[in-house]
Structure 1
Amino acid sequence: MISVASTLLAATAGRTRDFRVLRLSGATPRQVLLTLAAETCCVVTLGAALGLVVAAPALFGTAHGLREELGLPVELAVAWPWVAGVITGCLLVATAATVLPARAALRRMRRA
């Protein structure tokens, strides 16, 4: 979560020109922030989905290999509440790390 936050903080700080263009095209500060929050939600959802797709073959392969090697029934067990908790935590941290610096940048633009 720390790497997600630091990456998004740095990326958001570099997007002040984008915020200015949105404001000049008629978007309110609230609309800019909602757009950024929606964009962040899409990115985190896509990242979580791709992570699960990449991990699934390895998990199924490991379970199958153990089943074959041991000759015992080995079932794949995923702690879905933990997975959902991690994804939710990343979503919250990513949204905060995007919206809070953008809000500060929009305030600075208003003063200038």
Structure 2
Amino acid sequence: MGVNRMIPVGDVEDQVAILVDDVTDTCSTKYCAAVKLLYARATKVYAIFTHEIFSGPAISGIYNAASEAVDDTNTIPQEDKMKHCSKIPVIDISVVLAETIQRADSSK
């Protein structure tokens, strides 16, 4: 399915919309989805990604995008990109990873 045929599932009018994805590179599909959600009358759009590459026009796109913020985890260092765009808060997942490793190790 192409991005142009993307439609929101459910009623987003007067709601805060959240886009969730595992990996993002240029964020172009996410920008289109954010625009579609705002066109469907969502009040705000936030995006959350697990592994973000942010190549090419991604940072300028995020800065100028319709979404309020693009939260990402610290699985890939983003400090240099965060300096250029205040819309990239980072969620530290080191505690979750440490707990997962500890539980996996203790089950042996």
TM-score interval, smaller chain: under 0.3
TM-score (norm 1): 0.25
Structure number with greater CO (CA < 8 Å, separation at least 6) is: 1
Q: Based on CA coordinates, which of the two structures has the bigger radius of gyration?
A: 1
Greater per-residue helix proportion: 1
